[in-house]
Amino acid sequence: MNDNFSLSGMSSPVEIVDQVIAQAVKISASDILFEPQDKQVDVRLRVDGVLQPFGMMPQGAYDQVLSRIKVLGNMDVTENRKPQESKIRFEVEGHPYVLRAAIVSTNFGQMVALRVLDAPRFTDFTDLGMLSELADKIKKNISGRYGLFLVCGPTGSGKTTTVHSCLKHLNSGEVNIMTLEDPVEYIMAGINQIQVGEDIGLDFVSGLKMILRLNPDIVFVGEIRDAQTAEIAIQASLTGHLVISTVHARNCVGALYRLLDLGVDKFMINYALRAILSQRLLRRVCTHCAEEYHPDQLELLMYVRETGNPPGRLVHAKGCELCRQTGYNGRAGIYELMEMNDGIRKLVTDGDSEVKLREELAKDGFKPMTTEGIRLVDEGVTSLKEFIRTIYDAK
């Protein structure tokens, strides 16, 4: 349990909730869980993608904490059986945060899960370690007056940072930039941001139709989740709008096939799509407690599978005070960029397999993000365990 933070030492439920959220965002936690147990309620935080204990409080004190959270999220305070979902806007040291709140009944009471939407601190491509050469390629791909640029990766892969960097780069004051977001996470000056969501009664499809009538130059659509959104987004990108969006896919090839699977016309994809960026965030090994180690059989196997060679010197970290015993401190992004070219377009037209596309990309000098990940492992920036967790466990 976390020694430097005592929940029982606080008097009011308001203070407990405020302090937990404030502490969580300060250490860049992505999730806050209040988990009722038999006698107490555990509080855990997800930091750099992994849960860690934060504190606990007696069951007796929890009722009021729960009420406070429901009030913050405009939820029904008297409802204690049905699941509830909401958004909470919260300010920490003058900085606005949006939390997605979900409450659900478990064995011992109502569990609360708060998700801190991607931190707003980064708005430059290179903030998460992207090489400037790659940042330049992205800028080139979003420089046209029309076309589609996609960013993909699982939740927590830094997509928001990349998209905000793109919008900031494009926000010259001479263009009309409109966004559809679920929810609007961070207010950006000079950009017309529109919130979509079930609670508002506006979805991506109707939102897109609406903003296209306002003739924007650049459109950001939060996510392409279905065929209809994909179709309108692509149509828009072919009629004088630059469209940026995200797709839930494991990698660039997966994202391209996801569009095809949604039934989007191949020729329209070929005309519209400029490039797909795929990314992950790997936790950096804490430099304070890092040490050399020998990987186990499975890790060894994975390394050889990726590189064809046995590894050299590998590091991991055992945990110290500086890294809150996690062995990690901060994160580094790894990326792959697939730019459309005639070879890829022909494979799309012919309906070729993913395997063929990978072969074509390899010929073209495409560097998969796993290559960059292995480089970080070799350089001791991250651990082999972390590489495997991030690349293979991602949903």
Contacting residues toward Zn ion, per CB under 5 A: 286, 288-289, 320, 322-323
Q: Minimum Å distance from CB 316 to Zn ion? A: 11
Question: Cβ atoms within 10 A of the Cβ of 389, count?
Answer: 15
Instruction: Provide, rounded to whole angstroms, the least separation between the CB of residue 203 and Zn ion.
Output: 45
One DSSP character per residue, 47-78 reads ETTEEEEEEEEEHHHHHHHHHHHHHHTT--TT
The token duo for 283 is 């936790």
Q: How far is the CB of 290 from Zn ion (least distance, A)?
A: 8
Quick one: which of 341, 347, 395 has its CA closest to 366? 341
Closest alpha carbon to 150 in 244, 87, 80, 217: 244
How far is residue 181's CA from residue 223's CA, in Å, rounded to a whole number?
8
> If you ran DSSP here, which 8-state letter would residue 272 be given?
H
User: CB-wise, 50 or 135, nearer to Zn ion?
Assistant: 50
Least distance in Å: CB of 284 to Zn ion? 11
> CA 2 to CA 54: how far, in whole Å?
5
- Residue 74 is encoded by which pair of tokens? 């405009």
Tokens describing residue 296: 């186990």
CB of 121 to Zn ion, least distance (A): 22
How far is Cα 39 from Cα 57, in angstroms, rounded to an integer?
9
Q: What angle do CA 45, 48, 53 make, to 5 degrees?
A: 25
Q: CB-wise, 281 or 289, nearer to Zn ion?
A: 289
Euclidean distance between CA atoms 5 and 7, whole angstroms:
7
Compare residues 278 and 329 and give the one whose CB is closer to Zn ion: 329
Instruction: For residue 351, count CB atoms less than 10 angstroms from its CB and return exposed for 0-12, middle for 13-18, buried for 19 or more.
Output: exposed
Q: Which is nearer to Zn ion, 210 or 322 (CB)?
A: 322
Write down the least CB distance from residue 372 to Zn ion, Å. 24
27/322 with CB nearer Zn ion: 322
Is 318 strand, coil or helix? coil
- Nearest-angstrom CA–CA distance, 19 and 283: 25
* Shortest distance, position 169 Cβ to Zn ion, whole Å: 35
Measured from the CB atom, is 79 or 321 closer to Zn ion? Answer: 321
Q: How far is the CB of 315 from Zn ion (least distance, A)?
A: 12
Nearer to Zn ion, 186 or 328 (CB): 328
Q: Measured from the CB atom, is 80 or 287 closer to Zn ion?
A: 287
Enumerate residues 6+ apart whose C-beta is below 8 A from 196: 180, 181, 182, 202, 203, 204, 207, 222
Nearer to Zn ion, 72 or 289 (CB): 289
Closest distance of CB 45 from Zn ion, Å: 17
Residue with the closest Cβ to Zn ion?
Answer: 286
256 contacts 357 by C-beta, under 8 angstroms = yes
